Copies of this chain bind each other. A is one copy, B any other.
Amino acid sequence: MKIMLLLGSSRKKGNSEQLAQDVLKDVPHTEVFLHDKTINQIIDKRHTASGFTRVDDDYEELLKQFLAHDIIIFATPLYWFGMSGQMKTFFDRWSQYLRDERFDLKAKLAEKKAYLIITGNKPDPKVSALPLIMQFHAIFQYVDMTFVDYLIGTGNKPGEVSTDSEAFQKTRLWNERFRSV
């Protein structure tokens, strides 16, 4: 089982990254910071006769890498009560590749297991992140991906999440599981 960590934050060393590192301590995995990639917004050509056109950015390479893993850990801070724009764009671009015959995207997505890490601050993310969890649930359900579990951490300034004992308790539980995968 190959594990990929997909980081949606627009800053390094933030709280969602910190929780993810704890989850993956001593666990072999691939790590991608979406922010390090050039990923354009989707141009919807589903209803254009010529269909989608090739986009010259880092997305296709990233998608191939993504599809080579079995377990995906999505980690995003709660930005404006949703996932980061970086991560939203990652999902939006699926719409193009679902129609690309070179990829059997829908079938491949259905084989994957998803974990979700969200960090936020005020108002309490344990409540304010719930619509986002519902959105991820709907996304995963739509493509038949298994949504195993989610973890909500509280923190604003870098490092602050360390004081969220419950979040760290859960990272340890996940870590045990991932070590024995």
A43 adjacent to B82 (CB under 8 Å): no
The answer to whether B132 and A130 have CB atoms under 8 Å apart is no
Q: A11: CB under 8 A from chain B?
A: yes
A170 to chain B, nearest CB (A): 7
Give Cα distance in the complex from A81 to B133, angstroms: 11
Residues of B within 8 A of A169 (CB): 169-170, 173
Q: By the criterion CB–CB under 8 Å, are A166 and B158 in contact?
A: no
A44 interface hit (Cβ, 8 Å):
yes
Is A60 an interface residue, CB under 8 A from the partner? no
Once the chains bind, are B94 and A85 in contact (CB under 8 Å)?
Answer: no
Q: Which residues of A from 46 to 87 have beta carbons under 8 Å from B?
A: 46-48, 77, 79-86
Size of interface on A: residues with Cβ below 8 Å to B: 52
Number of copies: 4
On whether A10 and B170 interact (CB within 8 A), knowing A88-B80, A88-B85, the answer reads no
Q: Are B139 and A127 in contact (CB under 8 A)?
A: no
List A residues at the B interface (Cβ < 8 Å).
Answer: 9-11, 14, 35, 41-48, 77, 79-86, 88-89, 91-92, 94-95, 124, 126-128, 130-135, 137-139, 142, 147, 149-150, 157-158, 165-166, 169-170, 173
Contacts of A126 in B (CB 8 A): 149-150
A171 to chain B, nearest CB (A): 11
User: A10-B44, A88-B88, A89-B41 known; A165 and B158 CB under 8 Å?
Assistant: no
CA distance A54 to B170 in the complex (A): 39
